[in-house]
Amino acid sequence: MDIKTSILRMIRQSRGYVSGQSLCEVLGVSRTAVWKYVNQLKEEGYEFDAVSNKGYRIVKYPDIITREEIESMLPDGLAVTNVVYYHETDSTNIRAKQAAEEGEKSGTLFITECQTGGRGRRGRSWESPAGSGIWMSLLLRPEIKPFDASMLTIVAAMGMKDAIEEIIGDGVTAGAGDGDVAGDNAGDGAGKGGIHCKIKWPNDIVLGDRKICGMLTEMSAETDWINYVVIGIGVNVNTTEFDDSIKDTASSILLQTGSSVKRSDVVVAFARHFSRYYDEFLKECNLSGLADDYNKALINVGRDVKIVERDGSFVAKAVGIDETGSLIVEKDGNTQRIVAGEVSVRGLYGYV
């Protein structure tokens, strides 16, 4: 962890003021160096209360997703270990795959303020404007069989569902007023009205009846081992405008709850929840320990779904997933496993 991140972490974790002398002694730097880094943080939007003979405390946090912001909040021992930040890039999945080929370690999270070439499933474009969402990709090198890698997208979906529910339940707002310290930017409004996160199989996150998060998992593998897996995640957090092609199906946390949230809080909450589910997945290399919780969140369960496959489509009732992540559907008294394909839920996304 570099000095700037360490200063931010020490001040963030303190319940009161942190003296400049304490920062110097712990980090082994001069007072001039501390002053320089504090000024850099001020330029990024952090607002400090500096008191002579007491030190520094942060009274307001900006809504940014820089490496220093996220790493200063990341607990130790998670599956997400470090962050690579871009102010703008073509695609975090592209950057993650390139870094993986060059030997980047597992657990690296690639995140950007703005993507110019974001992609969704089946080559669809994904709008990634600056300042409004989370556009990130997680690089993993799991010791599992290539066939099992597709289950990781369900693990990620569960992590993000729990993260969003935690943040909107806490009512965390971006740009809170004076008096908000150490990241405790609590406000009112988020999570009200009985709105809960659901998952549309396999990994779309839904608030109300609109999609707010999508994922794209890509892999490099040999016959019997995985070189790496990259899980790309796009979350519409404080987005208010959408392209005509998606405005009837997409929404954001802000539009669905009425409250803005600080994006770095969502990222760190995802890192914590994903790590818990990932550890559970690696125990058996399947979803046996997650399937019940996933099915409780699955918006498809008990509803008619339209399955679009290469050679046609049919309508059946969704039952839930099995331990491999396949969707189990029932038609005319018979059950069938859906491994891949486009699945539309009746009454959702315009499918009626």
Q: What angle do CA 80, 81, 85 make, to 5 degrees?
A: 90
Cα 259 to Cα 240: distance, rounded to the nearest angstrom: 12
Residues 185-190, mean pLDDT to the nearest whole number: 35
Please give the share of the chain, as a percent, with pLDDT higher than 90: 75
pLDDT at res. 119? 59
Q: For the chain, list the domains and their CATH numbers.
A: 3-60 (1.10.10.10), 67-294 (3.30.930.10), 300-345 (2.30.30.100)
Residue with tokens 């969003």: 164
Q: Each residue of 248-272: pLDDT tens digit?
A: 889 999 999 999 999 999 999 999 9
Residues 165-172, mean pLDDT to the nearest whole number: 78
User: 12-51 as b/e, with b when 16 or more CB fall inside 10 Å?
Assistant: bebeebbebeebeeebebeeebbeebbeebeeeebebeee
Cα 342 to Cα 327: distance, rounded to the nearest angstrom: 11
Name the nearest CA neighbour of 315 among 297, 342, 350, 349: 342
Residues 115-121, mean pLDDT to the nearest whole number: 66
Q: pLDDT averaged over the chain?
A: 88
The answer to whether residue 348 scores a pLDDT higher than 70 is no
DSSP string, 39-107: HHHHHTT-EEEEETTTEEEEEE--S---HHHHHTTPPTT-S--EEEEESSBS-HHHHHHHHHHTTPPTT
The answer to whether residue 189 scores a pLDDT higher than 60 is no
User: 306 vs 229, which has greater pLDDT?
Assistant: 229
Name the nearest CA neighbour of 226 among 339, 100, 93, 95: 100
Name the nearest CA neighbour of 156 among 128, 126, 170, 136: 136
Q: Each residue of 309-333: pLDDT tens digit?
A: 778 888 999 999 999 999 999 999 9
pLDDT at res. 169? 86
Q: Each residue of 210-223: pLDDT tens digit?
A: 999 999 999 999 99
Q: Each residue of 37-79: pLDDT tens digit?
A: 999 999 999 999 999 999 999 999 999 999 999 999 999 999 9
Residue with tokens 């908000």: 180
